[in-house]
Amino acid sequence: MLAKTALMLLATLLLAGAGVLRADSSAGAGEQWPVWGGDAGATHFSRLTDITPQNVASLQVAWTHRSGDFADASGRTRATSVEVTPLAVNGYIYYCTPFQRVFALDPETGTEVWHFDPELKEKKGEGPYPLNCRGVSYWEDSAAVAGQACAKRIFYGTSDAELIAVDADTGKTCEGFGSAGRIDLRKDMGKVRSWGYYPTSPPMVMRDRVVINGFVADNLEVNSAPGVVRAFDARTGALAWAWDPVPPDWKPGPAYEPKGVYQQGAPNSWSIITGDHERGLIFVPTGNPGPDLYGGERHGIDYYGSSTVALAIETGQVAWHFQSVHHDVWDYDTPAPPTLFQIPGVGGGAPAVAQSTKMGHIFLLNRETGVPLYPVEERPVPQGGVPGETLSPTQPFPTHPLPLHASEISPETAHGFTPIDRWDCARQIAKLRWDGPFTPPSLGGSIGYPHTSGGMNWGGVAIDPERGILIVNQTQMAQVNKLVPREEAKSIDRAKMQYPNELYEMTGTPYVLVRTGLSSFLGAPCSPTPWGTLTAVDLKSGAVKWQIPFGTLEELASWPVTALFTDTGAPNFGGGMATSTGLYFIGASMDGYFHAYSTESGEELWKTKLPFGGHSVPMSFRGKSGAQYVLVSAGGNVFTRMGADLVAFRLPAK
């Protein structure tokens, strides 16, 4: 029998929700891995060639570092999620933990050199979101005297909404940055819940500026925390500029009366920012304004919502913006880093941005103008939302490549391990509204497919520029969105609204959101399989090169389910890395395996069981000994097994 409620809870787990150093945005990482995505454009591509399809099966664990920083929320401590991609730079491995401690490790042995503890206040605070830290950023001061303290710095944001600078060689705070090495990011925001705003992704460092964004809690209220993106002087911490994502000439109505310097209720940006050092542009993925599933009170404030926005690093001025979802009432915010590439034969060889979305759409844009490299069609989408809502009549659909997420769900396609639970799923689907992937939330309940977690999520894509191949993992799950009139919602027992059933107050609107998983009485998803996929796209032709189910039910269900149903795929969280030798490494799946696939064919060439699920993005570097390492963080989740490990692999020493 299925593990109790495990599969029914899968979908809810995935809600989330330069100085002298420069990284070419179109080239893969070399000996080091100096920024989150390997390069400033987050291609997740390594040019190291030691590990090949011929010898990858010989990989073995070189070392493991255990921080011990994890919690399952059974006590007063908030739950954690290990999502970090470490850096390999300056002769060290740098990474942060869910409790926001930063470690510097010896890259050959994993031995701790130093660690910094910010003494997190929010570790035991309120809030429904797991604590996490996706990464840190590194910067070298070109004006510093050799050996000067903090000439090399680590920057990162914490759940206390602080931007912190520490010495990359010693782990001590940089006293001349901000106030004793810290900047309060909630300053000038007005009254904000302690868990309503904080950074979760690493800053972008370019031209001696540290640019940082922040996560804003979903579905709380109309006038939610500001979504401002700010740049600070990397030496002093002085504010250089702030981009408040409000429409040009927009005038706030009564619901948006200012609480502070920055506009509350505007779209936020919580995922990874990328950059083009040569052109002086940074690329910001944005979310939608709050509350997420009702936009009747927005009055145009979502102008920059669910978009890719290019900003000038010197001024913060908008260079261009492209919106992937108009008037987003599905929580289909842009979750992934805008990935930069330039490949002959793709878009005429123009410098480009690949933006993946929760919709399973990938938009290929000109990096300098934001104009699509290939036609994007504005297609009519379902109308007839709840009273008070005004939906966009059309939505953008890419044609190169075509949408990668499944787009059909019906009583006839309902999944079931047995005829009985298949009947149960078909019965549920028949009662709900489903008119395609942009079916709006309704009073009677609408199917959300893709799920609010995707589709694709913050792990983003990996691009092999030598082969012209893009590879991405996806989750293919459905949920139910129902808007309940506020007066009617008073009768709902909030104490019983626990996962997988969620209730969001959406204060300032006429409605309360009730969101549930679309699952059978056995707890299994009703959406068609596979529930997780890996897809490789030929960027020149736009055609799918290969697609395979990704992930298994191991860790989530017991025999005979895992034995009989081996090709269901499973929800996954994280991303992958490609290499110059034609390998694609990825953990991400719920079953805890770490894989190497052939970039060309999708054939699995190697896998190993991690101590815990690897819901992160792996990286690769060359150690002091000359050996190539592949490194992945593994922390599992509250529905499988939890920990906080960093695991390094290498070939056997010669």
In DSSP notation, 211-254 reads: EE-BEE-TTSBTT-----EEEEETTT--EEEEE----TT----G
pLDDT of residue 111: 98
pLDDT of residue 124: 65
Neighbours of 55 (CB within 10 A): 14
pTM above 0.85, yes or no: yes
Catalytic residue among 167, 292, 331, 464: 331
- Give yes or no for a contact between 273 and 282, defined as CB atoms under 8 angstroms apart: yes
For residue 465, CA distances in Å to 257, 562, 580 come to 48, 37, 9
* Tokens at 600, concatenated: 């060309």
Phi, psi (rounded to 5 degrees) for 290: -90, 155
Gap between the Cα atoms of 446 and 395, Å rounded: 18
- Give yes or no for a contact between 377 and 343, defined as CB atoms under 8 angstroms apart: no
Gap between the Cα atoms of 331 and 481, Å rounded: 11
Neighbours of 146 (CB within 10 A): 5
Taking the chain (654 residues) in consecutive chunks of 10 residues, what is each chunk's mean pLDDT?
Answer: 40 36 40 97 98 98 97 80 97 97 98 97 74 97 93 97 98 97 94 89 98 94 94 98 94 78 94 98 96 93 97 98 98 97 98 98 98 98 96 98 95 94 97 96 97 95 98 97 95 79 92 94 93 98 98 82 81 97 97 97 98 97 96 90 96 90
* Tokens at 487, concatenated: 């007066």
Neighbours of 208 (CB within 10 A): 18
In DSSP notation, 248-305 reads: TT----GGG--SSSSPTTS--B-S--EEETTTTEEEEE--PPSSTT--TT-TTGGGGT
Burial class, 244, CB count within 10 angstroms (exposed 0-12 / middle 13-18 / buried 19+): middle
Active site (annotated) includes residue 331: yes
For residues 212, 218, 219, 223, the Cα torsion angle rounded to the nearest 10 degrees is: -20
Gap between the Cα atoms of 508 and 208, Å rounded: 41
- Give yes or no for a contact between 479 and 293, defined as CB atoms under 8 angstroms apart: no
Gap between the Cα atoms of 508 and 223, Å rounded: 8
pLDDT of residue 75: 67
- Give yes or no for a contact between 572 and 589, defined as CB atoms under 8 angstroms apart: yes
Rg (CA), the chain: 23
Instruction: Write down the architecture of domain 6-650 according to CATH.
Output: 8 Propeller (2.140)
- Give yes or no for a contact between 623 and 107, defined as CB atoms under 8 angstroms apart: yes
Amino acid identity of 428?
A: Q
User: 124 by DSSP, 3-state: which?
Assistant: helix
Cis omega (within 30 of 0) on the bond before 258?
Answer: no
Gap between the Cα atoms of 495 and 184, Å rounded: 34
Per the listing, tokens 């930069």 go with 340
